[in-house]
Each structure stands twice: as C-alpha cells, then as structure tokens.
Structure 1
Amino acid sequence: MTDRFELDGDQIQSMLEVLGDAQSLGFLGQGPVERHIDHALGFAEAWSDARPVLAPARIADLGSGGGVPGLVLAVVTEAHLLLIDGKSKRTDWLAEAAWRLGVQSRVTVLNRPAEEVGQDPEWRGTCDVVVARSFAGPAPTAECAAGLVQRGGVVVVSEPPEVTDRWNALAAAPLGFGPALLVDLPGGHYAVLIARDEPLESRFPRTWAAQKKRPLFGL
C-alpha cells in the first residue's frame, strides 16, 4: 500500500472503534475489523492503478451499510463522500459515524435507492469514483454506478477471488463502460470499470424492478 492511502495510529484506533460498533449492530460482516479496513483501502489502490493521477473530488459508495469502504475513504482522501443506502437505520448510523470520525463536513448520507440517486440531477454524473462492496450482481451494480460516475470516471467493485468471467459482457452493454480490469491486491480482489466519454442514455439507471426483470448482461 502506498503512503497516499494509509491511516495513522489515531485514525486506525478510531476506525476500529467505529467499525466494531457497525459489526455489533449487524451492519458489517464478521471477521477481524482490520481486514475490513485493508479491503477498503484496496479500493483506492485499485483506482490508482487505473488512473494514477486521479485525485477524486467526489466518491459515491453504493449500499454503504456499515461504512466500508465509504467511511475509510472519507478519512484517507480529501474527497466528498456520498454514502447511499436504502435502510434508515444504517443511514442514521452512518451520519453519526462520520461525525465520530471528524469527517462529517465531507460526507453526505442519502437514505434513497441508488438507482433513484443516479437519476437525480443533483447527483447524476457528478462522481469521479463510484465504489461498491457487496451491493448487488455485476449488471445492477454497473447500471446504478453508471448514473453517478462522470464520463471518464472510475467504478471499483469488490470481487470474489474465484470468479473471473462475471464482467465479460460489460463492454457490450449500453452503459458506456469499456472492458473491466480485474485487480488482485493484498487487501482483496476488485473489478475496475472505466466510463467512456459518450453520454449515458437518460433511461439508465432503470428502476430496480426493471433491472431485475431485464438485466443488461449476465444472469
């Protein structure tokens, strides 16, 4: 990991406490909290591999839940974080967690469906980076992210290590992405999607029901 995306001792302690609370509330999966932090930092390393000079001004986290990777990225970058989750208990907690970590001035928490946020003129196409961890399958994740990412921006999605073909049809889908780049790092496995320059069709992202009924690629 580069020095650009590291937590200092005080930040690590605060993050362990906050994410430990997320686990106890059932908002974050089990396992050592340190591993969750390393996995979150891997998102930043993955987009840096794809866009070495990128210094994102706004990052969206789809299905932010227990704050991984969104809260970690809020601490290790200067970006404004848009934390999106459809469950009010989680968004209430995310707002409190941002305050505890001292990043509340650079965090906006939205209790709304991600596909709805991607159609909102206030947020549509405004994010340099979109991240997603355990949000949904490849097709709905790409479609929801497409509504938020700037043209030329980057989407980073956590990946299971044993699967290598989930994104094969991405470039043929009408979402404006090129082929996915798969990145393996010590903290985890990631798919990096680059948004091409052509505008996204206004019908995307579709409603969740439409996405589930007619996925743009895959199963």
Structure 2
Amino acid sequence: MAVAEERLVAVLRHGQQQGFLGAGDLLAHVEHARAHHAAARPMPGQRWCDLGSGGGVPGLVMALEQPSIEFVLLDRSQRRADFLETAVQDLQLADRVTIALGDAAELAHLPRHRYAYDGVVSRAFGPPAAVAECSAGLLRAGGRLVVSEPPRCSEARWPTDALAQLGMHFVRRTAGAPTFAELECLAAADPAYPRTWKQIRKRPLF
C-alpha cells in the first residue's frame, strides 16, 4: 500500500472509531469513494461540495484523486467538522479543501455557498428530496449532483416534476455496483429553496 493510501486509511479508521463512518472494510469505503469520483467526473479547476461529509467519504478521497479541484466538506456537527479539519491537515489538503460547519439548508443561502459549486456529491446525507433541495441552492446552472444510490432502485426516486421545481433534472444512473444517480442543475434555484430543514423533512417535495 502506498504511503498516501496508508495515511488515508489511518485517517478514515480514526473517523470510523468515532462513529463518523459506517462499519466495514476501510479499503471498501475507499473504493466506493473512487467509484463516486469516476461517476462525478470533476474537471480541473472546479469547486465541489461533499454534502454531509461525516467521516470524509467521498470528499477526502476525491480530493486526493484529483489535485486540481477545490473541495468544501459540509457537515452540521461540530465534532465531525473538527475531525475533518484534522483530517485535511493530516492529508496535506489544506490548500484546497475547507470545512463548512452548519445546516446545509441555511448555508445554501449564504453568498459564499449560494450557486457557488460546479458539483455536489452525497453518500448518506438523507432521502432524495432532502439531497436535491439542499443541493439546488448550492449548484450553479450547469452544475451536477451525483448521489450514491441503493442497489436495484428506480428512476422514480427522482420524479421529473418535483425536480423541475428546483431547476434540476435526472440525467442518468450508472450501471453496475456501486450505483450512482446523476442530476443536472438546468437553472439557478428559486430563492425560496432550500426551505428550512424542518420544512424539508416535514413536507418533502417528493
């Protein structure tokens, strides 16, 4: 195992021990994140956001895979944000990876995050409606949302009419495992979106 990968696994192990990353083989988590990167296809110079970064997957792995992109790891937990800050330092990523602490539905209305990203990735942030609505406020027109999907799910998880309210549409689902859904932001979201987190969870758009 290369030195960089050993360092990454050590960082992820620490996150797993704190409960920020699911159980299971750490290298499997890394490979899943690499597949997420392949599905996302970020371009050099772009700015991406890991929505609900938690233990740093896929964001940390993607940042290591492609040194030419900027990443923001967004999480609402102070403990997880502190872990991510240390991880970024340990992996020598501080020049292009930053942490955003707060509620995604609130941060998406701040000027430094509003329509500020070329792409958003999400592995375990929440149900599809919550992921889409929070991402809509983060993505610029033409930006893409790439979401890790459960196996054997259908396109019905991403209904056309509801996505249109957010200025988004479903593009494709990758074949094989792991599976990812790709959505595109066709136009900047209405200023009303995202709503508060309480409203998103109580009255999801779909």
| Alignment TM-score, normalising by the size of structure 1 | 0.88
The answer as to whether partners of 2:16 and 2:22 remain within 8 angstroms in 1 is yes
1:60-108 Cα deviation digits (max 9, x unpaired): 0111000000111111122111111111000001000000000012111
Q: Shift in Å at residue 56 of structure 1?
A: 5.1
DSSP-derived class of the 1:150 partner: strand
Q: Does the alignment pair 1:67 with 2:56?
A: yes
1:31-78 Cα deviation digits (max 9, x unpaired): 111111111111221123xx8xx3352110111000000111111122
Gaps of 5+ in 1: 1-7
Quick one: distance in 2 between partners of 1:195 and 1:13? 36
State the identity as a percent: 37
The answer as to whether partners of 1:42 and 1:185 remain within 8 angstroms in 2 is no
1:9-45 Cα deviation digits (max 9, x unpaired): 2221111111111111111001111111111111221
Runs of 4+ deviating beyond 4 Å: none
The answer as to whether partners of 2:128 and 2:158 remain within 8 angstroms in 1 is no
Q: Shift in Å at residue 168 of structure 1?
A: 3.9
Q: What residue in structure 2 maps to residue 55 of structure 1? A: 44
Give the number of equivalent residue pairs. 204
Q: What residue in structure 2 maps to residue 155 of structure 1? A: 145
Q: Shift in Å at residue 180 of structure 1?
A: 4.0
Letter in 1 for 2:24: G
Q: Shift in Å at residue 185 of structure 1?
A: 4.6
Quick one: distance in 2 between partners of 1:206 and 1:161? 29
Q: What residue in structure 1 maps to residue 39 of structure 2? A: 46
Q: Does the alignment pair 1:213 with 2:202?
A: yes
Q: What residue in structure 2 maps to residue 115 of structure 1? A: 105
Q: What residue in structure 2 maps to residue 137 of structure 1? A: 127
For 2:167, which of 176, 180, 187 is the aligned residue? 176
